[in-house]
Amino acid sequence: MVIFGDGGATYNRVRFKALVYTPLINEVVEGEVVRTEDFGAFVRVGPIDALIHRTQMMEDNVVLYDKQSGAFVGERSRRRLGRGGDVVRARVVGVSYVTAGNRDVVRVSLTLRQPMLGKLEWIEEELSGGKKTAQAKAQQKQ
């Protein structure tokens, strides 16, 4: 189809399939830390880079950001979270749609400060620690 006065552009009917992702509040997601800044870490969740603010990274107080390695360090636990293969399980706590220039951008905020969330290694530690505690209680009863 050619429309008069459109400079000779053509318009064609097409059919296509699209795989889309819309993050939902309270949804639990997993992703890899792909970038860090002094204020937080960006996690790749499907086609979106979501932000974990430094105050939402762990129950511990984050006292150090090592710019060289791109890692955040907890005050008491000394746990590290940063780029370079760290995978986290997080909860979506905020979704906003913003227009930047001539395109729409989705901004997603995440938290790790809830039970069974965080770096996958931390979750495994928590689970194995819980099993050890249950085993110790069972042995005390015998």
44 vs 86: CA distance, rounded Å? 11
Contact 82, 64 (CB under 8 A): no
**Domain range summary for the chain, segments of one domain joined by +:** 28-123
What CATH number matches the domain at 28-123, 3.50.40.10, 2.40.50.140, 2.30.180.10, 2.40.50.100? Answer: 2.40.50.140
Task: Quote the CA–CA distance of 137 and 56 in Å, as a whole number.
Answer: 33
CB 89 within 8 A of CB 76: no
pTM value is 0.76
Question: What per-residue confidence (pLDDT) applies to 109?
Answer: 97
How much is the average pLDDT of 109-133? 86
Calculate mean pLDDT across residues 16-43. 92
Mean pLDDT of 68-78: 89
CA distance 118 to 88: 5
Residue-wise pLDDT tens digits, 106-120: 999 999 999 999 999
